[in-house]
Every structure is written in structure tokens, then in C-alpha cells.
């Protein structure tokens, strides 16, 4: 089994620093990034797969008038890493699962031996479970991501944005060396090709491993779904969410958040 992903982005970006409720300083800049991910898996037993994953990304700052000179990683550069991955996937559909489970555990090593300009380790655990209760579906996700080493600011794990805590509107607003989150959704059909979603989320960003409930951010909201094709569950989604930090997010995107 082969999984690939290719990205290219050029955008106006913002940086607030490592997450703190008292940190309101914001720096705006322009950035460009491109890269890809490649994973090669071999089936071992009953929906379990083992394999190796590789990641390459190039990041550069394009704002010559306001470059973030004081940040570690402000000069941009290459991120190249490889490592083992364990995968379990019993979902009935990749785009819009109604039953089954998904587990991805990976450990990527970035260093100069792989032609990376930065040296650190990335650990990821992503678990999802889907329960069909008739027409509605209950979806659950638990995610933990941890980085160990000298991580450039543009590679720090993010807690906000369209796929994680949707009540945090900007993906860079809450970042640190480690993040964890849990999410639950109720997805149901409303009429014709239109569906609805209600969701609740909780997560935390920290410098070190910390699963305490202190400083946890809570988020919740509603969403609408429009199925593009009558026989294929590829949705355009519109989500609106609020968080306990007084922030909000509104997102339009393809596919579900998880």
C-alpha cells in the first residue's frame, strides 16, 4: 500500500510565538512552502500495516521588509525525515467513514544525514473511531503530537485551524512542541445532498508532555455538508466554531475534518 501527499503554499502568514494566554504580540509575514510525504506499507494481519514514511518540506520567508529575524528557523530551509509507521484501518470509506477505526503511529527522524537543515524527532499518534447509529454517525478522534529537539518555528505542531480545534481560527495561534486533542462529532443527513454536523473539541499545547486539564482549550460548533456527487460521499463542508479563548473560526473545505 502506498500513500502520497504533495503540498505547495504561498500565503500571508502570522506568528504569535509559543502558546500563552498572555501573548498577544503578532508578527505578519509572507511565506512559501512546498514538499511532500510518502509512506510505503506492507500488510501484516487483519487490517494492520507496517511501513516506512518519508517527509520533505522546504520553507522560505518572502517578506524582505518584515522578516522574523529573531525566530529559530527564520532563514527557512529543508526538512527531511524518515521513520517507521504502524497503521490500522478498518474504515468502510476513506472520505466519509460511517463505521470502523483508524490508527496511525509514526516516528520521524529529521537530521543532516537525510539532508535536513534541522535536527529533531517527531512523534505522532492519531486514533479515530466511527459508530453508525442508523442514519447519523458518531465520530471520535484522539491525537497526540510531540517534537523533541531543535524544532524551527514553522514545524511546531499546531492546535487550531480547519482540522484540529476549529474554534481557534488561525492554525498558528496555538503552537508548541507538543499538542494533544480529542474531538467528537455527530453527523447526520438533513435533506437531498445536505447534511449537518455538531461537534465538541478539547486540546492543549505545551512545551513538555502534560496531560493535565490545566489550560485546556475547549471548542465547539456546527457545520453544514453538501455532497458533490450523488453516489460518492465527497463533501464540501462549512464549519463555524467558538472556543473558550474567546476566538472563533469559520472554514470552508473539502472532506471531513477527520
pLDDT band per the 50, 70, 90 thresholds, residue 26: confident
pLDDT band per the 50, 70, 90 thresholds, residue 27: confident
> Following DSSP, what letter does each residue of 70-113 receive, concatenated?
TSTTTT-EEEEEEEEEEEEE--S-SSS-SSEEEEEEEEEEE-GG
Query: In degrees rounded to 5, what are phi and psi of residue 187?
Result: -110, 135
Domain spans, the chain: 2-254
pTM (predicted TM-score): 0.92
The pLDDT assigned to 202 comes to 98
The pLDDT assigned to 14 comes to 87
pLDDT tens-place string over residues 56-96: 999 998 875 565 667 889 889 999 999 999 999 999 999 89
What's the mean per-residue pLDDT of the chain?
93
pLDDT(198) > 80: yes
Closest CA to 102 of 141, 131, 136, 137: 141
Task: Answer yes or no: CATH 3.90.79.10 is held by domain 2-254.
Answer: no
Amino acid at each position: 500500500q502506498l500513500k502520497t501527499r504533495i503540498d505547495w503554499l504561498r500565503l500571508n502568514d502570522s506568528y504569535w510565538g509559543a502558546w500563552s494566554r498572555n501573548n498577544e504580540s503578532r508578527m505578519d509575514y509572507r511565506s512559501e512552502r512546498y514538499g511532500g510525504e510518502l509512506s510505503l506499507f506492507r500488510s501484516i494481519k487483519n487490517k494492520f500495516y507496517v511501513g516506512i514514511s518519508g517527509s520533505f518540506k522546504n520553507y522560505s520567508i518572502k517578506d524582505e521588509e518584515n522578516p522574523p529575524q529573531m525566530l529559530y528557523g527564520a532563514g527557512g530551509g529543508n526538512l527531511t525525515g524518515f521513520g517507521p509507521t504502524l497503521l490500522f484501518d478498518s474504515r468502510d470509506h476513506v472520505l466519509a467513514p460511517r463505521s470502523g477505526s483508524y490508527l496511525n503511529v509514526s516516528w520521524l527522524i529529521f537530521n543532516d544525514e537525510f539532508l535536513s537543515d534541522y535536527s529533531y524527532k517527531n512523534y505522532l499518534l492519531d486514533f479515530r473511531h466511527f459508530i453508525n447509529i442508523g442514519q447519523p454517525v458518531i465520530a471520535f478522534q484522539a491525537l497526540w503530537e510531540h517534537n523533541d529537539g531543535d524544532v524551527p518555528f514553522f514545524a511546531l505542531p499546531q492546535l487550531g485551524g480547519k482540522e484540529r480545534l476549529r474554534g481557534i481560527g488561525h492554525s498558528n495561534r496555538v503552537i508548541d512542541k507538543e499538542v494533544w486533542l480529542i474531538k467528537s462529532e455527530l453527523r447526520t443527513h438533513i435533506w437531498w445532498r445536505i447534511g449537518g454536523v455538531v461537534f465538541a473539541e478539547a486540546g492543549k499545547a505545551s512545551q513538555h508532555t502534560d496531560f493535565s486539564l490545566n489550560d485546556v482549550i475547549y471548542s465547539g460548533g456546527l457545520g453544514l455538508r453538501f455532497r458533490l456527487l450523488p453516489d460518492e460521499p465527497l463533501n464540501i463542508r462549512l464549519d463555524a466554531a467558538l472556543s473558550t479563548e474567546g476566538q472563533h473560526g469559520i472554514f470552508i473545505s473539502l472532506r471531513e475534518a477527520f
